A and B are shown apart, each in its own frame.
Chain A
Amino acid sequence: MSVPDRDAARRQLAGLARWRPAEIAFWVAVLAAYALFPQRAALIAEVAVIALFALSLDLVLGYAGILTLGHAAFFGWGAYVAGIAASRGWEDPTLGLLLGGGTAGVLGLLGAPLVLRGGDLTRLMVTLGLATVLHELANRFTGLTGGADGLQGMVVGPLLGMFEFDLEGHVGAAYALAVLFLAFLLLRRIALSPFGWSLRAIRANPLRAAALGIPLRRRLVAAYTIGAALAGVAGALLAQVTQFVSLDVLSFQRSADGLLVLLIGGVGWLYGGLVGAVVFKLMQDLLSSLTPQYWQFWIGALLVVLVLLGRERPRAWIARLRRPAEGAAP
């Protein structure tokens, strides 16, 4: 490859990495939602947590193409680590967040060889199995986790030593949004780096990617580890904002929720997780107050219909809206 070519490629990548007006508008809207709906601060925090979880899942599923049914394993792990740290006197939220994310990343790194060992079916089973085993362990080690009663005695100190978490949840929501934004910046950087493009190449055609000299396995392990760490951060965030951890952070429902969010928003597209989380949570909130008993049916129906329609559809609509503005989104 000649030098001008390389420069052109670099310029092309840099061009893709530029912030588009629509993206800036999106984040302004997020800020506005926070300012305009102080009464729904708790809901906003919950949306942010789900969005972060969906982002981490998207890296694994959408970018690296690793089929998983048990991403909640890392989410729950992060939640328990942060929760246990907070109940043992490590009150600083930032520390808890790093601990939760870091250890979840290590867990992902250790689990990756097993997950990547087989085909799609094996991956489904191993990921689901890992989450189930963790659930069982958390239930078993009552002394550490509180077991089925949930983890008690969490004391989360003031954020950055200044802002006490309040009953209305305003500090919690701001904190959750800030963490989400930082994680998003990181993921955006990753997705637009050569590393991110190589993941997409692997997903599209592993054989050809290997022929191009991309180290498949190492890339996938790295993606899985980062995804696990971010899921851990999301879990830690949930634990700190709600100041409580119970076994359901490890449940299958969590993993399924993540999948649904991505399906709604679009897989393999960073804003997919964010948009999906907003739509999902609002819909759940609406449906569950309309028909508290059977909203699950409508969630399921939505999954089925979205798949049948083709899950690229919502994203295509957005793309069509934006077509005049040219260019693909990150």
Chain B
Amino acid sequence: MNRRTLLAGAAGLPLAAAVLPRPALAQGTPFRIGLILSMTGPFASTGKQVEAAVRLYARQNPAFAGRPVEILLRDDGGAADATRRHAQELVVNEKVSALAGFVLTPHALAAAPIAARGRVPMVVMSAATATVTEASPFVVRTSQTTPQVTVPLAGWAAENGIRKAVTVVSDYGPGLDAEKWFGQRLGAAGGAVAEALRVPLANPDFAPFLQRARDAAPEAVFVFVPAGVGSIFMKQFAERGLKEAGIRLIALGDVLDDDILNGMGEPALGVISSHHYSAAHDSEANHRFVAAFREAAGMRPNFMAVGGYDGMALLRMAAEKAGTGAAGQALADAMKGLSWESPRGPVSIDATTRDIVQNVYIRRVERQGGELYNVEFATVPAVKDPAKAQG
């Protein structure tokens, strides 16, 4: 901050400056992206995946519509009020062209009003609650919604002879979403959820819940808990002999996160899950993405990384479609209806809901080349978020 801005500030000028229309942005003006992630705290692993993918994309495509890309990374430490403050400062002080990131739903929801008032597009790269895109007309999502990946799995289960299931979900918003949509879809297909168990978030030991699930003697247990504890769940599932008792384990892909899947070992083998991305997805685009990501970050990309990568792709395409100088509303409008070939397969942005439309794959954990992967064996094409489709 130089002396002049100080003086101007004292005179209250920035107040006026923020409302005045911005000058058209020429070639060479940086395209600044305010990336807000949780780099510390319990969700730091998500932050790292998204950041690595965003930086990878920026290295591969250093300019968007002729403007050099500049990434301003901020850490919210997992606290929504910090997300909001960073968003505010990025919009007001740094004049970013777009906000991006947002690990959890509350972070995205806290920042959404800022995006709306500052008229800045906001690309949600990770948060998965269905309502996020309804929080502001500037919000666009490149990750997934929980119902979007849950419903196809319930459909698959019903088609494969699963009539009676037990659901085990973490007792928080996304978990309850998964429980609701799974039950609804299975019920519509003539099946039933015998027991809907909710596990406290701070729950270390799954023993009592697994025992209860076992005692209910279902054909399958559907599980959705955060990835980290999910692996403990699978271990205990195997040890408790539920498999031997003829109970199948089906899960949302979050539980079998590529980031840690390989460390889960035997208990994960054969688990069926549904998700929009697997590092083992067999396509040219994905092979290139995985190789480049591994080289750049030294780890396997997961679904959050692909959300970050596609978020950048979306920003680039929108910038190019809208023209070099476009910002704000024009940039946000340009995103609607875009479609492209992502590492996860064909995707598009729904023009009315601004949410992502994508294939959902049913996968099974298998060993490939000495490592565990989610290997896709069935595809449900172009799934829209059912929560919004239902109205």
Give chain A's interface residues, CB within 8 Å of chain B.
35-40, 42-43, 46, 132, 136, 139-140, 142, 146-150, 152, 166-170, 238, 242-244, 246-249, 251, 253, 288-289, 292-296
Q: Is B14 an interface residue (CB 8 A)?
A: yes
User: Whole-angstrom distance from the CB of A201 to the nearest CB of chain B?
Assistant: 38
Known: A242-B84, A288-B77. Is A39-B93 also a contact (CB below 8 A)?
yes
Label chain B's interface by main secondary structure: helix
Residue of A nearest to B40 (CB): A296
Residue of B nearest to A38 (CB): B9
Binary per-residue interface labels of chain B (1-37) against chain A in the complex, 1 for a CB within 8 Å, 0 otherwise: 1000110011010110010000000000000000000
Asked whether, in the complex, the Cβ of B10 is within 8 Å of the Cβ of A46, the reply is no
Contact sample, A vs B, 9 pairs, CB 8 Å cutoff: A132-B202, A148-B106, A167-B88, A167-B118, A246-B109, A249-B81, A293-B75, A295-B40, A295-B75
Asked whether, in the complex, the Cβ of A139 is within 8 Å of the Cβ of B201, the reply is yes
Q: Is B247 an interface residue (CB 8 A)?
A: no
User: Whole-angstrom distance from the CB of B136 to the nearest CB of chain A?
Assistant: 11
Which residues on B sit within 8 Å (CB–CB) of A248?
78-81, 106
Residue from B73, B81, B135, B174 within 8 A of A238 (CB atoms): B81
Residue from B9, B106, B176 within 8 A of A246 (CB atoms): B106
Which residues on B sit within 8 Å (CB–CB) of A147?
172-173, 176
User: Whole-angstrom distance from the CB of A243 to the nearest CB of chain B?
Assistant: 7
Asked whether, in the complex, the Cβ of A36 is within 8 Å of the Cβ of B129, the reply is no
Asked whether, in the complex, the Cβ of B75 is within 8 Å of the Cβ of A46, the reply is no
In the assembly, what is the distance between CA of A147 and CA of B105, in Å?
11
Which residues on B sit within 8 Å (CB–CB) of A150?
80, 105-106, 109-110
Interface residue count for B (Cβ, 8 Å)?
49
Q: Is B240 an interface residue (CB 8 A)?
A: no
Asked whether, in the complex, the Cβ of B84 is within 8 Å of the Cβ of A167, the reply is no
Q: Is B200 an interface residue (CB 8 A)?
A: yes
User: Whole-angstrom distance from the CB of A107 to the nearest CB of chain B?
Assistant: 21
Asked whether, in the complex, the Cβ of A148 is within 8 Å of the Cβ of B88, the reply is no
Asked whether, in the complex, the Cβ of A148 is within 8 Å of the Cβ of B174, the reply is yes
Asked whether, in the complex, the Cβ of B73 is within 8 Å of the Cβ of A244, the reply is no
In the assembly, what is the distance between CA of A179 and CA of B44, in Å?
34
Known: A43-B85, A148-B106, A293-B39. Is A167-B117 also a contact (CB below 8 A)?
yes
Within B194-213, which residues are at the interface with A (CB < 8 Å)?
A: 200-202
Within B120-165, which residues are at the interface with A (CB < 8 Å)?
A: 129, 131, 135
Residue from B18, B44, B109, B173 within 8 A of A244 (CB atoms): B109
Which residues on A sit within 8 Å (CB–CB) of B1?
37, 39
Residue of A nearest to B80 (CB): A246
Asked whether, in the complex, the Cβ of B15 is within 8 Å of the Cβ of A37, the reply is no
Which residues on A sit within 8 Å (CB–CB) of B88?
42, 167-169
Other A-B pairs, 8, CB within 8 Å; known A142-B173, A168-B92, A253-B79 = A39-B93, A40-B89, A136-B202, A139-B172, A148-B104, A149-B109, A167-B117, A292-B73
